[in-house]
Amino acid sequence: MIGFGLIFFGSILDITDNFPELDQYVIIGKTKYEEFLEQVVGYTCGFIFVAIGLFKWIPTMVALRKEEESLKKSHEELRMKIEDLRAELNELYRTIEHTKSMTQKFLLTRITIPAKGRPNVFICECQYEQDDTYDN
Torsion of CA 43, 48, 50, 53, to 10 degrees: -160
| Assigned domain for 117 exists | no
- What is residue 91's predicted lDDT score, i.e. its pLDDT? 95
Nearest CA among 52, 51, 29, 38 for reference residue 7: 38
| Assigned domain for 116 exists | no
| Assigned domain for 131 exists | no
| Assigned domain for 41 exists | yes
| Length in residues, the chain | 136
| Assigned domain for 113 exists | no
Domain span at residue 42 reads 2-97
| Euclidean distance between CA atoms 48 and 55, whole angstroms | 11
Domain count, the chain: 1
Collapsing DSSP to helix, strand or coil, 8 comes out as helix
Query: How close are the terminal C-alpha atoms of the chain, in Å?
Result: 63
pLDDT by residue (tens digit) across 71-120?
A: 999 999 999 999 999 999 999 999 998 888 777 666 444 444 555 655 55
| Assigned domain for 83 exists | yes
Per-residue pLDDT, averaged over 17-22, amounts to 74
| Assigned domain for 110 exists | no
Residues 6 or more apart whose CB falls under 8 angstroms from that of 109 comprise: 124, 125, 126
| Assigned domain for 23 exists | yes
Global pTM reads 0.47
